A and B are shown apart, each in its own frame.
Chain A
Amino acid sequence: MKKLFRAAAIAAAAALALTACGGGGSSSDPSNVSPTGEVKPREISWLLSRPADGAVINIMKKLADDYAKDHPGFALNLITTPDRPSYIQKLETLAAANKLPELFDTDATPFAQQLAKQGKMVDAEKLLKSLDIYDDYRPSALDYQRFDDGSLYMIPFQFELEFIWYNKALLEKAGVAVPKSLDDLPAMCTALRSAGITPIAIDGQDQWPLERYVAYQPFREAGPEFVQKLKQGEAKFTDPAGQKTVQWMAELGKAKCFQEGFSAQGYSDAQNQFTSGQAAMYNIGTWELPSLATDKLNPAVREDIDFFTLPTTKGSVTSANEFVSPSGIGMAVNTKTYDPLVSDFLKFALEKYPTEYAATGALSPTTNVQTALPGNATPLYKKALETANGLGAKQAMPWDTQLDPTTNGRLQQELVLLVQGNITPEQFTSTMDATIKQNAPKFFK
């Protein structure tokens, strides 16, 4: 029995050692963006986190089919997990097993930065430049994909603006106007509540929507650098910008800004509350244009819906035209499997993609195409698209792509408690500062 146990232990150790070896760096060079050789068609895979029937997937499927016509034997296998948390777990597990496919989606997270550091992702800036399409991209679409050191390893496929959509009739009923400052929001919520209206509909289940709010005050108070410093432990929640957001979040909670029981409500619950005229505001991006600015929108509220962009604050260091403008989850190219075929297909697809994408009524990450207005669009659709033309240089980064995963998870949990009034701003501050202190050094060394 003893012998058996020893043998099993050795086998376990050996298996782990093998896995660890497998997790090592690749021999390919991330900056070698133009591999030479013959294009040999085969099936390649793209691990992605996008809606299965969404524009990106539909277009890429079509482009892959077109490419296969001239390259028999080529196929693009799209493996999608739209649910972001599940996708991230899948990606991290595959990365740990060194089994990432040719193409995979990722945000500019600290984990992705570690992959890039290990040479597992092709340098996207060099790749786009070698394909001569780098200058077509909106600078802010590329900036969203960059790591803090300015390096670019992901290619954007979208460009979105995040607004606060509101119901004019409900605001009028409560006797409130569009907020001039972020600091006006709590009072606005109180007025709406007294009029029997839910102020803001939010998807609490997915946690990132509430995390957007914590980013707003520091972005206005201290600019986009705050979160970059915070995540590394160089800035703290005890700093003025940190305290401002903590107090503000607590005030939003006290004013009952979000619907009752929001933490257990999902994406469609929040959307329904707003589009059925129960909630006055809804913070969401232009990916919702088809349901908020077309005739698909409930006729009872269609005329009353409008949007405003992130309000500024007194002494704000960022301007009104600077807010959250993400270019979606990016696509990374695996260095280990990067060969003439992958390079040739990407050249083919990326050149044709913007035209096809803009034709669906979405904002392209490039500026060389004009977005087509859908036939059933309301005037709001055009207004939303035009807002993209006046964007400022700085953008507010969503914090869930910035913080290390443990800190991010804890922040999402503590924010709900803070907004529900289960913990005090002081408890929130000390918990979060301690969490960052414990976890940041491991990720940002």
Chain B
Amino acid sequence: MLPNRSRTSVLVFLLPPLLLYCAAVLFPILQSLFLSFFSWNGISDMEFVGLANYIRMITADDIFWRSFFNALLYLAICLVLQLGGALLVASLLTSLRRGRELIKTLYLLPAVISTVAIAFLFVRIYSIDPVGLLNQLLHWVGLGTFERAWLSDVNTVLAAVSAPEGWRFTGLYMLIIYAALIAVPKELEEAAVLDGASKWTLFTKIRFPYIRPVWITTTIMATTYGLRGFDIPYLMTNGGPGQSSELLTTYMYKTAFTSTDFGYASTISVFIVIECLVAVGLILFMLKRKAD
């Protein structure tokens, strides 16, 4: 327990960042909530429409629902690649004796490359005409029948735009999980090995439970980032072809800045905020319950 005076000073120092947070995060959210009850194109007078935007969103907008389900699939692919990939690589790294730093750096590299560069890089990788890396590889290994225009095919485009996002952040989450894994007390592991635990048992009964708090944090981070994913799909396909790779975020952006329907775009953004809160709540609920 801090003495009274230093507790006050801590509170005083906490106040500026709190105010900044309110101004930068809470205020815009409230502003969106307010705008969502209006119809406004930015230059004419604002018209109060009550819940009409919400009713339209839920009952009469096919693109909204399409974008919502696309966003869930996008999230699922990103999570598998980011968390699954990160856990796998981090676990393998712990059993590596040499070259750890090099591998860590190489995995982390995509996280520091600009999004625009990544988007252009992957557009080239997926290209069919001129033939890109992916189609070339398929051709070389004798899977020529799978060659396709990945970004123009309505069946493959969503996975194709999700992969770069997953690839990009695997290294970042790998670092976090790796840091947690090496903090697992060696004595615990050695005791388990003496008791005859297999590698799998060691992982599921000792290591993973030990890193669970870190795992929850990374899952929450990856999920909220995934739900807010925007730039790579927007740059690679602009939501197309049709609405095949439209996410809630890209749809919200277009509604606001292309259709100049600021009221309706705010309604969608309120939905995104709620969606993120629900997702975090669900993750905490599920992982905490397992821990108990």
Q: Which residues of A contact B (CB under 8 A)?
A: 8-9, 11-13, 15-16, 20, 23, 85, 88-89, 92-93, 95-96, 111, 114-115, 118, 198, 204-205, 207, 259-265, 273, 405-406, 409, 413-414, 416-417, 420, 422-423, 439, 442
A-B contact pairs, 11 of them (CB 8 A): A9-B34, A12-B34, A20-B40, A23-B43, A111-B43, A114-B41, A114-B44, A115-B43, A265-B127, A416-B241, A416-B242
Are A92 and B42 in touch, CB under 8 angstroms? yes
Least Cβ–Cβ distance between B189 and chain A, in angstroms: 46
Given contacts A416-B240, A422-B241, contact A264 B258 (CB under 8 A): no
B46 within 8 A of partner (CB): yes
A413 contacts which of B129, B243, B259, B262 (Cβ < 8 Å)? B243
Cα–Cα distance between A198 and B42 once the two chains are bound (Å)? 44
Interface membership of B154, Cβ < 8 A: yes
Contact (Cβ within 8 A) A85 B241: no
17 new A-B contacts at CB < 8 Å, known A20-B40, A261-B127, A263-B151: A12-B30, A92-B260, A96-B260, A205-B238, A261-B148, A261-B149, A263-B152, A264-B126, A264-B151, A264-B236, A273-B129, A413-B240, A417-B242, A420-B154, A420-B241, A442-B39, A442-B41
Q: Which residues of A contact B255 (CB under 8 A)?
A: 406
- When chains A and B are docked, how far (Å) is the Cα of A409 from the Cα of B253? 12
Q: How far is B34's CA from A15's CA once the two chains are assembled, in angstroms?
A: 11
> Do A264 and B237 have beta carbons less than 8 Å apart?
yes
- Assuming A9-B30, A264-B149, is B240 touching A405 (CB within 8 A)? no
- The residues of A that contact B237 with a CB separation of less than 8 Å are 263-264
B31-A15 in contact (CB<8A)? yes
B69 at the interface (CB under 8 A from A): no
Question: Could you tell me if A422 and B259 are in contact, using CB atoms closer than 8 angstroms?
Answer: no
**What is the bound-complex CA distance between A423 and B242, given in angstroms?**
10
Shortest beta-carbon distance, A225 to chain B, in Å? 25
Confirm or deny: B21 has a beta carbon within 8 angstroms of a beta carbon on chain A: no
Chain A positions within 8 Å of B31 at CB level: 12, 15-16
By a CB distance below 8 angstroms, the chain A residues around B188 are none
Q: Across the interface, name the chain A residue whose C-beta is closest to B132.
A: A261
Bound together, the chains give a CA A114 to CA B27 distance in angstroms of 30
In the assembled complex, the CB of B89 is this many whole angstroms from the nearest CB of chain A, namely 30
Interchain CB contact (< 8 A) of A417 among B46, B241, B260: B241
Closest beta carbon of chain A to B218's beta carbon, Å: 31
Distance (Å) between the CB of B83 and the closest chain A CB? Answer: 28
- At the interface, yes or no: B254 with Cβ under 8 Å from chain A? yes
CB within 8 A of A95: which of B27, B42, B151, B241?
A: B42
Most A CB atoms within 10 A — which of B27, B39, B236? B27
Verify A264–B27 contact, CB threshold 8 A.
no
Contact with A along B30-68 (1 / 0, CB 8 A): 110011000111111110000000000000000000000
B259 lies within 8 A of A409 (CB): yes
For the complex, what is the distance from the CA of A9 to the CA of B215, rounded to whole Å? Answer: 36
| Bound-state Cα–Cα, A92 to B240, Å | 23
When chains A and B are docked, how far (Å) is the Cα of A189 from the Cα of B96?
Answer: 58
Contact status of A409 and B44, CB under 8 A, knowing A261-B152, A422-B154: no
Docked-complex contact A260 and B149, CB < 8 angstroms: yes
Q: Which residues of B contact A (CB under 8 A)?
A: 22, 26-27, 30-31, 34-35, 39-46, 123, 126-129, 148-149, 151-152, 154, 236-243, 254-255, 257-262
Residues of the B chain whose Cβ atoms lie less than 8 Å from the Cβ of A205: 238
Q: Which listed residue (B27, B242, B259, B260) contacts A12, Cβ 8 A? A: B27
Chain B nearest Cβ from A15, distance in angstroms? 7
Known contacts: A9-B30, A12-B27, A12-B31. The answer to whether A20 contacts B149 by CB under 8 A is no
Q: Complex: how many Å from CA A114 to CA B258? A: 15
The residue that B154 contacts in the complex, of A13, A16, A417, with Cβ under 8 A, is A417
- Asked if A118 contacts B34 (CB within 8 A), the reply is no
- The closest CB in chain A to the CB of B239 belongs to A413
A405 touches B259 (CB 8 A): yes
Q: Which residue of B lies closest to A431 (CB)?
A: B62
Complex: chain B residue closest to A15, CB-CB:
B31
CA distance A114 to B31 in the complex (A): 25
- Contact partners of B151 in chain A: CB under 8 A: 261, 263-264
How long is the Cα–Cα vector from A13 to B35 in the complex, in angstroms?
A: 9
Measured CB to CB, the closest approach of chain B to A27, in angstroms, equals: 16
Q: Are A114 and B241 in contact (CB under 8 A)?
A: no
* CB-CB under 8 A for A85 and B258, given A11-B27, A93-B42, A260-B149: yes
CB-contact partner of B260 in A16, A111, A207, A259, under 8 A? A111
Q: When the two chains form their complex, are residues B128 and A260 in contact, meaning their CB atoms are under 8 A apart?
A: yes
Give the shortest distance, in Å, between A133 (CB) and chain B (any CB): 30
Assembly CA distance A85 to B259 (angstroms): 11
Report how far A264 CA is from B130 CA in the complex, Å: 12
Q: Which 5 A-B pairs have the closest CB atoms?
A: A261-B149, A96-B42, A264-B151, A89-B257, A417-B242
Beta-carbon contact of A414 and B257 below 8 Å? no
Picked from A15, A118, A204, the residue with its CB within 8 Å of the CB of B43 is A118
Give the nearest-CB partner of B253 in chain A: A89
Q: Which residues of B contact A264 (CB under 8 A)?
A: 123, 126-127, 149, 151-152, 236-237
Check B26–A414 contact: CB distance below 8 A: no
Chain A hits for B123, CB < 8 A: 264
Give Cα distance in the complex from A61 to B152, angstroms: 41
- When chains A and B are docked, how far (Å) is the Cα of A293 from the Cα of B35? 52
CA distance A320 to B86 in the complex (A): 62
In the complex, A88 Cα to B253 Cα: how many Å?
13
In the complex, A423 Cα to B62 Cα: how many Å? 15
- Which residues of A lie under 8 Å from residue B127 when comparing CB positions? 261, 264-265
Assembly CA distance A261 to B130 (angstroms): 10
A246 CA to B18 CA, complexed, in Å: 56
Give the complex CA separation of A43 and B154 in angstroms: 50
Which chain A residue shows the least CB distance to B260?
A: A92
Please report the C-alpha to C-alpha distance between residue A93 and residue B258 in the assembled complex, in whole angstroms.
10
* Residue among B129, B154, B237, B254 having the largest count of chain A Cβ atoms under 10 Å: B129
| Contact with A88, one of B40, B46, B258 (Cβ below 8 angstroms) | B258
Shortest CB-to-CB span from B277 to chain A, Å, is 16
